[in-house]
């Protein structure tokens, strides 16, 4: 599909699937997305250490909903959670399916999409679904970290516990549920997934830095982190030979990328190490990169192209692979 009509309603969907090791499976899930028609698969980002793949596709709301259902159907057929291991927290074969308003739609449209998809998945595929983010039906379920408590391994007990009845789908532990886990379906604003590489393999350092910067701060205390709109943790990425501070920037205006990066660099120096680069998972809005570049230059009037180049260079976005702007900035992809 060519998204040439700028007045067209465009929704983005960014499913995270618990498979990052088998290219053939990832290809078949990609094909399932494209089979739905009228959507464009924008990006596929796999991690072997996380054993996870992030798909990004966009199109008109109804077509995106159909593509998401097709993707879930194929993924649960190919992935068995009873055999899954990986560094990333997860609840199911299709771990999260968020809908994001991009152009000509509002959040209410994405909430309606999420709830309709959850109803269809629960009814037709007999998979337990939890609604999160703006689509949540309970306040505590807005946050993914709440739904992921105990991860997949705790799901069997949670399904039969008070307060954990799925929004749709069965609450019984069957062989189908055991293989698929649960699907978390939601609606949210644009999220930037950014990991910072440290010049150490010590995960404890990465976790201490994460606790200092993330909104929730240090567990068990009233100490909040440095930034609002930021989720963070630390893990080891064997593929890169280093520990990472892994972050979800849920509001890049309250947690500007350059400020987050510079704070992490300062905290790393205090820990006797340094930030040696970064890794973007999925796509990024142009505005976030321009703001980061201008912040790093301390020049609010810097032109957009220069600011983007500075952000890519100084944030180290090409440290683990080439950062191709035409393939990673969502506005440039949608304008093709």
CA-CA distance, 46 to 66, in Å (whole number)? Answer: 23
CA-CA distance, 99 to 117, in Å (whole number)? Answer: 10
CA-CA distance, 253 to 129, in Å (whole number)? Answer: 31
How far from 217 is each of 196, 211, 254, CA to CA, in Å? Answer: 18, 5, 16
**Alpha helices, H only, the chain:** 23-35, 61-78, 107-120, 144-147, 155-159, 175-180, 203-213, 257-270, 286-297, 304-314, 325-328, 330-334
CA-CA distance, 144 to 95, in Å (whole number)? Answer: 10
Which residues have a catalytic role annotated? Answer: 88
């Amino acid at each position: 599909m060519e998204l040439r009509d700028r007045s067209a309603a465009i929704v983005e969907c960014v499913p995270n699937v618990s498979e990052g090791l088998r290219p053939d499976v990832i290809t078949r899930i990609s094909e399932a997305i494209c089979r739905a028609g009228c959507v464009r698969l924008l990006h596929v980002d796999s991690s072997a250490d996380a054993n996870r793949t992030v798909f990004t596709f966009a199109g008109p709301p109804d077509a995106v909903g159909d593509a998401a259902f097709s993707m879930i159907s194929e993924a649960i057929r190919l992935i068995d959670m009873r055999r899954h291991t990986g560094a990333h927290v997860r609840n199911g074969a299709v771990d999260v399916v968020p809908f994001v308003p991009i152009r000509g739609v509002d959040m209410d449209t994405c909430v309606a999409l999420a709830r309709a998809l959850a109803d269809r998945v629960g009814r037709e595929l007999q998979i337990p679904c939890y609604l999160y983010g703006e689509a949540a039906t309970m306040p505590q379920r807005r946050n993914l970290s709440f739904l992921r408590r105990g991860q997949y391994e705790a799901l069997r007990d949670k399904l039969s516990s008070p307060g954990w009845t799925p929004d749709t789908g069965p609450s019984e532990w069957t062989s189908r549920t055991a293989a698929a886990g649960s699907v978390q379906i939601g609606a949210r604003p644009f999220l930037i997934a950014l990991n910072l590489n440290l010049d150490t393999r010590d995960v404890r350092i990465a976790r201490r830095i994460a606790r200092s910067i993330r909104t929730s701060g240090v567990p068990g205390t009233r100490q909040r982190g440095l930034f609002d709109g930021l989720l963070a943790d630390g893990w080891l990425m064997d593929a890169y030979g280093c520990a990472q501070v892994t972050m979800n920037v849920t509001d890049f205006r309250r947690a500007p990328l350059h400020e987050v990066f510079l704070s992490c660099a300062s905290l790393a120096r205090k820990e006797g190490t340094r930030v040696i680069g970064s890794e973007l998972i999925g796509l990024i809005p142009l505005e976030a990169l321009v703001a980061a570049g201008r912040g790093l230059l301390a020049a609010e009037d810097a032109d957009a192209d220069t600011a983007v180049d500075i952000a890519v260079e100084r944030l180290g976005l090409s440290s683990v692979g080439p950062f191709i702007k035409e393939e990673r900035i969502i506005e440039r992809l949608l304008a093709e």
